[in-house]
Structures are given as C-alpha cells and as structure tokens.
Structure 1
Amino acid sequence: MEEEDSSVAAKSVVKVEVGLGQLCRCFCLFGTRAAPITNKSKNINKNSVIKVAAVCGSLREASYNRCLIRSAIEISKTSIDGLEIEYVDISALPFLNVDLEGKDGSFPPAVEAFRRKILEADSILFASPEYNYSISAPLKNAIDWASRPPNAWADKAAAVVSASGDFGGGRSQYHLRQVGVSLDLHFINKPEFFLDGLKSPEKFDSRNLVDEQDKERLKEILLALQAFTLRLQTK
C-alpha cells in the first residue's frame, strides 16, 4: 500500500450595468507567482534560523518518505544557511480520544511532547505516502491531536513531499492541503515534489535519497519553504 516571487500581476476589469444607467465598477484581481529559488539561501539573514518540524506519515523505518526526511535534514545541514530541520516522531501517539484529555486541558505525555514540537517550529515539512488515495491514518491522527485547542498548526508555513506509487503520492498531497485549510496551515504552492518510489527504487539506498537530480528538487522545496516562512514572519 505504501511506497509508498519578481511578482507578476494579472488584472481584469469587470463592468457591471445597473438599472437604466451604465455604472462601471472595477474589480481588480491580482495573482502572483513565486519566482523560482535556485541558489543557496540568497539574501537570507544568517541570524534568522528557521526551525522546521518534519513529520512523516509512514511509521516504517525503511519508508521512502522517511528517506526523504533524512535527506532533507542532511541537505539543510550541508547546503542551506539558516534552516534547521528536526524529525518529529508520531509513532507513540495514541489514537485520538478526547477522554484521554485532562479536565485541566492537559494531554497524554506523548501528545504533549508532539504538540510542543509543532508549537516551537516555525514551519512544517510533511512527507506523506499515499494510502488508498489519501493520507495515512498515523498522519491524520497526529494532525488531529495537534489541532486540539489551542491549534498548534495555525499560521505556520508548510511544504509536502511524497514518495509513493502511481502518481507519486499526488492524491495524498491534495488531501493534506485540503486538511490544511481547516488548520490554517499555509502550504507553498510551488515547487512540487512527487516521486514514484516503486518504479524507481534505485533513487534510494537503505536510508536516503541518493539520486542527485531529485536531491536538487528536494533542496528547491526547502529553499521555497524557508523563503515563504520568512515572508510570513517578516523575520
């Protein structure tokens, strides 16, 4: 089942006829497209360190998606200034059950620890395998626990990468983005990262992504996430 911005503005003017006269109302609709980021942390203040919580939807140690997380951590250490990625394990989280919450609003220890990691992060990197056209149960469970009041995900930048069969996890990514609307998570739109790990196992060794072209694509995701986080926080 597993594996598993120069800005460009476009303006349109709509004329609306009202009653006997012709009154013009102008509505300006602007859209921007992020410019591709292709170099090493250009114009990033080195005193601004973006902390990224990396969450993997697969619990399997040899998961291709875990490989993506490990490779992202290595890339951030070796070639991106001002970006720190920490893998946050979700395997110890109990199934969501409000009965497990204390009357004082406390959570089970594993949940408290997970929520703290998310709250302390500036942004989130998801590695999401595709299970039955959607995200995995462990990932949804983690998302739901951290969304309990106060919502730990709110107003954070996020990015998602996937290594899965068929469409490379694309359908799971779009489900995750839909969930993000409810969470007030702000996903980067471009670039995107989908990888069919089943058809290209040679792109991985036992623990990491080894294909140089795909590692460069993964780096582009991290640079875009870093830049978008700084824009949101005006750091």
Structure 2
Amino acid sequence: MEAAVVKPLIKVAALCGSLRKGSFNRGLLRAAIELSKEESSLKGLEIEYIDISPLPFLNTDLEVNGTFPSAVEAFRQKILEADSILFASPEYNYSVTAPLKNAIDWASRPPNVWADKSAAIISAGGGFGGGRAQYHLRQIGVFLDLHFINKPEFFLNAFQSPAKFDTDGNLIDPATKEKLMQVLLSLHAFTSRLKVNAEIMVS
C-alpha cells in the first residue's frame, strides 16, 4: 500500500497594502484565509493576516542599539516566522501603496527578514486591476531576495459586472474565488519545494 504524502506546514503572512476597512484587497485576503480552512487541497497552508497599520513611518532614529520600536519588532518577528508572504495591494500612481512600502522597508532593515521566502501577489482595483503595482513589487522583491511565483497572475478589476464584492468588501464572485484558489495552490506547491530543497542542503 502506497504511503500517503504528508505536506509540510506552510505558514503564510498575509499583508494588505490598503488600510481602508472595506478594502477589496483585504477582502481578497479574507477569502484566501477562508479557502485555506475549507479546501482539503490546501491542507497545511496556514494564512495569518498581519496588520501593518500600527507601524510608524520608517525613521532610523527610532532604531536604538540595534532594536526597533515595539510595533516594528512584532511585525518583523511575524515575517521572520513565516515561510511565505501573500501580498494584496491596490495600485497608487503606478506603484505600491505607501503603507505597504513602509512595511517592506522596516522588515528589510538589517537583518533583512524577507530573504529566501516565497511570495505571491494578488490585487483588486480599476482598469488593470493593480497590475502595475504588482510589477513594481516584483522589482522591489529582487533586492529583498523574495521568490515570487510567476503563474497564475491575479489582477482583478473590481468594478466590472457581475459584482465581485458585497458592500462590506467580502469576495462573493465564484469565478474569482476559483482564480484565487489557483494562486494559493501554486504558492503552496512552490513553498513546499523550497522547504524541501532547503532541508536537503542543510542535511
């Protein structure tokens, strides 16, 4: 009898670039968390939403004797403990949002806690659905040593019919949920491969 394949536990830190309560991008992350709990194919994928709103603006004067403000220390620890990152962000002026860039910069301060983690990007907005922000984030990730999945890409025009979100910003469109599911499956598989390769190199 063939032994069942045991998938390693994958801890995902989910970050939203929008601070708005009813953010569509935050709605995408809520949907991702629900899918990870409901779908058997995502068993072992543990997604935790990490709030970036408490982070102060980056100011190296706040670094004292190698330590960071308490909110920054807590955030950096969450990123350090994660195996993977799930970014969800709208597009502001062809780029990532200021809150997300601020969070990225704090976690990149020495020692860079983004390094060698897998990542995926999802976005919702008008027009291109946040695509240009995604491409800019990928550029930033090169310097951070983040390893992004390449496919499937996920850009959602949130204003096209049929309605994608309800009035509270919750994802309600079945087709979009299926696309989100495919992103999570790809992230899960890619992160698992990276973990296995890392364990082989250590052994």
Using the size of structure 2 for normalisation, the TM-score is 0.91
1:122 is aligned to 2:45:
no
Structure 1 residue 199 displacement after superposition: 3.1
Superimposed CA distance per residue, residues 30-81 of structure 1 (whole angstroms, 9 cap, x where no aligned partner): xxxxxxxxxxxxx8624x1100000000001100000000000000000021
Which structure 2 residues correspond to residues 49-88 of structure 1 after superposition, within 5 A? 49-79=9-39, 80-88=42-50
- The alignment of Structure 1 onto Structure 2 pairs a total of residues equal to 191
Checking the alignment, whether the CA contact within 8 Å between 1:128 and 1:136 is kept in structure 2 is yes
Work out the CA distance in 2 between the residues paired with 1:141 and 1:207.
24
Instruction: Confirm or deny: 8 A CA contact 1:55 1:126 kept in the other structure.
Output: yes
Unpaired segments ≥5 residues, structure 2: none
Instruction: Quote the offset at 1:212 in angstroms.
Output: 0.5
Separation (CA, whole Å) in 2 of partners of 1:187 and 1:127: 13
Q: Residues of 2 paired with 1:82 and 1:219: CA distance?
A: 14
Residues 201/164 of structure 1: CA separation in 2 closer, same or farther (3 Å cut): farther
Match of 1:167 in 2: 128
Residues 6-33 of structure 1: CA deviation (Å, up to 9, x unaligned): xxxxxxxxxxxxxxxxxxxxxxxxxxxx
Could you tell me how far 1:200 is from its partner in structure 2? 4.3
What does residue range 14-29 of structure 1 map to in structure 2 within 5 Å? none
CA distance in 2 between partners of 1:72 and 1:153 (Å):
21
Structure 1 equivalent of residue 147 of structure 2: 186
Q: Deviations over 1:188-209 (max 9, x none)?
A: 0000000011334711111421
1:94 aligns with 2:40: no
**Alignment partner, residue 6 of structure 2:** 45
Aligned equivalent of 1:143, options 100, 104, 109? 104
Q: 3-state SS of the aligned residue for 2:150?
A: coil
Contact 1:44–1:82 (CA under 8 A) maintained in structure 2: no
Query: Which runs of at least 4 in structure 1 moved beyond 6 Å after TM superposition?
Result: none
92, 95, 99: which one aligns with 1:134? 95
Deviation at 1:128, TM superposition (A): 1.3
- Structure 1: gaps of 5 or more residues: 1-42
1:34 is matched with: none
* Overall identity of the aligned pairs, in %: 70
What root-mean-square deviation, in Å, do the aligned CA atoms of Structure 1 and Structure 2 show?
Answer: 1.3
Structure with bigger helix share is 2
Letter in 2 for 1:139: L
Instruction: Give 1:176's aligned residue.
Output: 137
Which of the two has higher C-alpha Rg?
Answer: 1
TM-score by length of 1: 0.79
**SS of residue paired to 2:105:** helix
Within 2, Cα distance between the matches of 1:158 and 1:116?
17
Residue 180 of structure 2 is matched in structure 1 by 218
One-letter code of the match for 1:198?
Answer: F
